[in-house]
Amino acid sequence: MIRKPIEDSFLQKHLASLPDDCREVFLLQNGTVRAVVAQGTKMINQMRVNHELGILETLVLGHGYLAGGLLASTVKGNDRIQLTIECGGPIKGVYIEAWAIGAVRGYLKQVPIPVEKPLEDFNLSPFFGPGFLTVAKLLEGKKQPFTGQVMLQHGSFAKDIAEYFLISEQTPTLMSLSIKFDKEGRVVGAGGLFLQRLPGAQEHNLDQVEKLSLAAPSLGTYLSEGKTGRQFVQDVFAEVGPEYLEQEPLAFSCTCDRKRFSNFLSSLPDSEKQAILTEGPFPLRTSCFNCGTHYEFSQEELVSILK
């Protein structure tokens, strides 16, 4: 993957002033609720630059990246999560892949997202429309992924993921995702919160945590001020005794490189190879859907690769 440069000097300075992106894991309410908070301002800005996104597209895909990063905290080692939305609205669909180690990548199926009138708020449900949310867990050593699917009920990553866990895994869950834009449309803060009731806990345990979560300040705004996700949890949930467990990495990352695309080109059918060599264009530009990286191959390289 090639990271495209962030050229906005104000944004460069702001991002340099922020703590590194990460996930922080806690237990709340005497160990009955698991909490994961993600600070991902740098991840979302790199995602936006690499995919060349506007505000609406950044909001939608950014929510997907934050959700994927949070869900990946439920697996270990080399395990990964695939989060997919297929829908009938202007968004058409979103694909996210996130590893337990904290790497997140993914793309929108429709860029730009068609907008009939200026946005009045950040309610995304009209842009999703009817559809399905699928969560697949790809566990190391398992031949088949564990997959669950629910119909979209809310047109919101956070609410529909909570619905998925309740229906597919019978686990009461809360999720909130927050991206703060400044007046110029820059992303100055981004984060997410993931709360799950643990087995054996009583219903009221999550109820109290939910009340505190709903009364909390905007996480995106909080992180834009240079504070951390760890501080957020300790401030918001102070009365339910947050017990800090660990910090995990979080970043926009993709496994693609020039060699992978070269191998793909060399595996094409002979007829397609000949068409490329005869008709071009030169240089041939290939693109990775997951990270927006472009790899160009000159005519001389293509002759070597395709013959």
Confidence band of 280 (pLDDT split at 50, 70, 90): confident
Class of domain 258-306: alpha beta
- Say if residue 138's pLDDT is above 80: yes
Residues with Cβ < 8 Å from 255, sequence gap 6 or more? 1
- This prediction's pTM: 0.95
Confidence band of 83 (pLDDT split at 50, 70, 90): very high
User: Cα separation of 66 and 263, whole Å?
Assistant: 32
Contacts made by residues 13-22, CB under 8 angstroms, sequence distance 24+: 14/186, 14/188, 15/41, 15/42, 15/45, 17/226, 18/42, 18/223, 18/226, 19/226, 19/228, 21/249, 21/250, 21/251, 22/102, 22/229, 22/247, 22/248, 22/249, 22/250
- Say if residue 203's pLDDT is above 80: no
Asked if domains 9-252 and 258-306 share a fold, the reply is no
Q: What mean pLDDT comes out for the span 188-209? A: 89
Tell me the percentage of the chain whose pLDDT exceeds 70: 100
Question: Which two tokens mark 264?
Answer: 């793909």
**Strand runs (DSSP E) across 58-152, as ranges?**
80-87, 93-99, 103-108, 131-138, 146-151
Report pLDDT for 204. Answer: 76
Report pLDDT for 200. Answer: 80
Q: Which CATH superfamily is domain 9-252 in?
A: Hsp33 domain (3.55.30.10)
The bridge status of strand 251-252 relative to strand 103-108 is parallel
Residue spans of the domains in the chain: they are 9-252, 258-306
Angle subtended at Cα 83 by Cα 78 and Cα 86, rounded to the nearest 5 degrees? 155
User: Cα separation of 289 and 299, whole Å?
Assistant: 23
